[in-house]
Structure 1
């Protein structure tokens, strides 16, 4: 059994803090068209198809910027997961693109959905569906934005986490309202994709709700698709900052993917990243080959739906590099070698999130 040396215990605490903070401040019905590719083999051209679906998260740019590249995304067979914030609509660009509506509140109201703001989210969903006819909406389950802004160092974590842990009555009331949101969307013939941090999976595996209660983010059972934020590059950066080197970060993807697929089957999806650099200085994939390794690991676990974080960083001083990152066809499924360090980190994080003392 691999054990965590005492001398790097604080380093692992830093990794836990770093992962949650970075994800918070970010980050089978086939989506869109599959891209067809042609390759040469034995002097003859044969056609192969992408053996998975691919989507991109789009959050920080103006809608007009996404509209300009929408045709290119369509040609690549890429679906757009578009941030639509409270107060942003109606907007003319939203009429000209097909997208999954990633609905978000203002930062002061929590930004992402949780039990604290479920009633406001119900109103947001209702207002949006009055204005637009879409096939999918996305609910992003994360602790309130306030949580991330209060975390300034790892030593703040125990105090801050207790501040966002809701009382039982707020949790149950918010959970009920979240189910009502999904039922309302279904009544409008709209599907709901639910997105969450991966540690919720461990809650479900333990037949528990402790982590969901502690963070105020109950994951509903009536979603049409479930995507979990398994960002291997952020894990790798966090570990390197703690003095720990890993050679196969894609094992983190596979380790969760196997459990996600076991629970959710064909409703499973993975959010992968990071492309580019985030505000914390995390370096993303060095090349598309590293992204392909993550996709390969997910495929080997049975998952076929992948969402890349983030479209915005596929643009640099020379323009958009969409083809560089998204022109991917067939990927061979491959299970990465076991990484005991990653297994231990996962267990450590889950144990910490489970053991939080509620007020």
Structure 2
């Protein structure tokens, strides 16, 4: 296929995809705003707070919706070209199905990069900032379902945090330290804990430390204590951001943290694999759209196929969530849970292309 045709296809697909993405973002932003209405008026949360919160989570929506927009945009662009017999002219001119697929893969590489950039560098900090904004606006702290607060295992220690503030500092911290025989060595209680700017650990303030020394205990109080730990603010960020909205680096660090402490990391491993696989879903969506362009119905074909594309996109969106939950419940291999939705749609695209070619 000549460069002229490639540029022509790229222009049509990029334009249609951008239009679909804007439409989806407007729709989901409306739904997000409706969800925030119940909180308006409580604890100082006002209308402008809700609007800013909805705007701040839009990058996460871009990441989620881009493959769906690619499917519908590609489907619309190719179906429109087929309606005007342009696809037929291309095929008569010697453009095979494989050449068309390679061309679409080249065009779709931009979507792969955009999805990865939004998922890794834009959406995670925006989501974290949005949650911090909402907590600050409502004068709230990060809560935990347990009345005793948050519990985290950190090597030979168990850490209990009563409150995690929006700036990821901690209040009412208790650190239980054990030896290799699981004998309690000490309990350190701190009023507040802040992470050092140089990344060298936590600064505990208002510390009361109880040491168990065999036949007696020793209680000391110090105004400040330095605590080096693998528990970082990035690890604490999991309290405010869903695993699917975290970056690959944060997920990788937290999975390693859970493994080192012999804790279940299935949910976060599945999220990690999904972050690695999801950008390539745009290529699968474009391959799925191609078979529809090989048949052109001059009356009403475009609207019907776009509606079908919307249904397929919604199905892909739901399957991603479904297989993530099934993977956690059934302890599937994380790669299997993350890859299955894309593989199902890729197989469907291959079957449809084979059927169209046979005809």
| Range class of TM-score, shorter chain | under 0.3
Bigger radius of gyration among the two: 2
Normalised TM-score (structure 2): 0.26
